[in-house]
Amino acid sequence: MKNLFLTLSLFLFSCSAYAQIALERTYGESNSMYVTKLEIEGYKYFGVDTTTTHLNIYNTNHSLWKSLTLPVIAGSRVNITPTFLSENLFNSDNSIEYIIGYQSGTGATSAWTMYLVNEAGTILYTFNNGLSGKPVKVGTGWKLQTSDYYTNPAGSLRSATSYYSLPGQYTTGLAVAPQGGSSTGSELVPNPIESSGVLKYNLPSGINQAQVTVYSNTGAEVRNYNITNQFSEIIIEKGILSPGIYLYSISYPGYISEMKKFVVE
């Protein structure tokens, strides 16, 4: 009798333990989803639906709260989707503002521009050469840190970092978005590459896969590598790339790292 009671108790405990996990909602592959904590409205899910080019914001029960139309920029395409939202960081009107990046051209003719947009779709500020941006706290205030890319007169792709003063405050609450917190680290050794190089990387928590893109010194895309969080390094063989100067970046939906330079001898 005791054995029967013990078996029944274990069975009920097992059922109870498994029953604590329940699927709430699945968002399709056209959505790159994030979680944010707005200064007034609190926690929200959000993501860009690439089939409709809308920024959709959802309540914590997954009901649609707002659907915002993304700006249409002639001759450009969305390159970096928003990874954070704010109501009071950029101004005090309590409406939603976000940063979004666009790219025009390809290879050496590529140009990147980032925009600050409000929920009505009005562009409030243009960041020329801006590729991605994130809020960073400096003392008691906040700055916007941007990664900038441009092609110099010699036709070489160059990177820079800019800081912008901001009038408001930001409520940190981003659960899955590297631009609100953790970042992707990487190091290529040896540099220069004589026979082969090892690219060591570290993807943020929650990011399962990403892409390494290698560019020539003129900005032309020459090689792509798929990476996952199951490993922490890939090998780049010298024979795949001709001798010269190259740049690489790591990217995944909503994020692209700063470019780093390496040399193949």
Are 202 and 186 a contacting pair, CB within 8 Å?
yes
> What CATH number corresponds to the domain at position 80?
2.40.128
Domain identity same for 144 and 189: no
Domain identity same for 39 and 89: yes
Q: What is the pLDDT of residue 18?
A: 57
Domain identity same for 198 and 133: no
Would you call the peptide bond into 204 cis, given omega within 30 degrees of 0 as the criterion? no
Domain identity same for 256 and 154: no
Give me the tens of pLDDT residue by residue for the chain, a chain 265 residues long.
555 555 555 555 555 555 688 999 998 756 667 888 898 999 999 988 878 889 999 999 999 999 999 999 999 988 777 878 999 999 989 999 999 988 887 766 778 899 999 999 999 999 998 877 888 888 888 999 888 877 767 666 677 889 999 999 887 644 333 333 345 678 888 888 887 888 888 888 888 888 898 888 767 778 888 898 888 888 887 778 888 888 888 888 767 777 788 888 8
> What CATH number corresponds to the domain at position 216?
2.60.40.10
Are 28 and 56 a contacting pair, CB within 8 Å?
no
Residue among 196, 182, 261 nearest 234 (CA): 196
Q: What is the pLDDT of residue 98?
A: 95
Q: What is the pLDDT of residue 177?
A: 36
Are 259 and 199 a contacting pair, CB within 8 Å?
no
Domain identity same for 233 and 143: no
Q: What is the pLDDT of residue 31?
A: 61
φ, ψ (nearest 5 deg) of residue 198: -115, 120
Domain identity same for 100 and 158: yes
Domain identity same for 156 and 196: no
Residue found under tokens 């649609």: 64
Q: What is the pLDDT of residue 124?
A: 97
Domain enclosing residue 225, as ranges: 185-264
φ, ψ (nearest 5 deg) of residue 239: -65, -20
Last residue of a domain, which of 123, 152, 180? 180
**Number of domains making up the chain:** 2
β partners of residue 248: 214, 260
Domain identity same for 255 and 141: no
Domain identity same for 119 and 38: yes
> Is residue 18 a part of any domain in this protein?
no
> Is residue 23 a part of any domain in this protein?
no
Q: What is the pLDDT of residue 168?
A: 92
Q: What is the pLDDT of residue 185?
A: 77
Domain identity same for 199 and 167: no
Last residue of a domain, which of 147, 180, 213? 180
Q: What is the pLDDT of residue 66?
A: 96
Q: What is the pLDDT of residue 254?
A: 67
> Is residue 68 a part of any domain in this protein?
yes
